[in-house]
Structures are given as C-alpha cells and as structure tokens.
Amino acid sequence: MQNNSHWSRECAVAITVCDAEGIIIEMNDRAAEVFAKDGGTKLIGTNVLDCHPEPSRSLLVELMANQRTHAYTIEKNGVKKLIYQTPWFENGQFGGLVEFSMEIPYEMPHFVRGT
C-alpha cells in the first residue's frame, strides 16, 4: 500500500502504520529513513512483531489486544526521541496501531495550562 496521506509524506516525524494483525501498511519518508538499515519501505507488508524482541513484542501484542496508547522517550546515538504508539480506527473499527517517532530536545519547557 502506498502512503496516500500527502501531508505526512515529508513530515519530519517518522510515522509507521500497521493493521490490526500487525502488518505494516504505511511508512512516511522519515520512517523509511529511520528504518533504512532494516529495509526501509521494504518493511511494508511485514509484521511489526517480527521487528521487535521481547519484551517489546509482548507489549505491542497487548497494545493491539487492548487498543491502548503507549508513550515514552528514548535516547540513542545522542538523539532523544518521543515515541507515541496509539490505535487508529476506521468507521469505529480498530484498524491497528500508528507510531509517531520524533526527535525532541534534551531540555524543553513544560507548561501547565489552566482549565
């Protein structure tokens, strides 16, 4: 499947989408760059579970089964990232998971907004 979401194609955030079975169905350009060593866009059509060792694999299974969001930060090669994995839906039906991976500064402001 091609990435038909033109706004996301060149977005600076890596976006990877899998279906309800875990099959990768879309990647934007940034995701293809991030996962180039693993095959880039050749990962489309493969199962996201095969790309993750334990305990990440079991966590992804649980996220899909319970259709819930998981967010965390990582640091790798001197780069800090926010990873946000969340379910997507089509016509109210669970479609799978989408992962947003974005580089973030080491220090950044945090604002508490009023109601």
The partner residues of 23 in beta bridges, in order of sequence, read 47
pTM of whole model > 0.75? Answer: yes
Q: What is the CATH number of domain 12-104?
A: 3.30.450.20
DSSP 62-89: HHHHHT--EEEEEEETTEEEEEEEEEEE
Q: What is the pLDDT of residues 40-81, one digit of tens each?
A: 999 999 999 998 999 999 999 999 999 999 999 999 999 999
Query: Domain ranges in the chain?
Result: 12-104
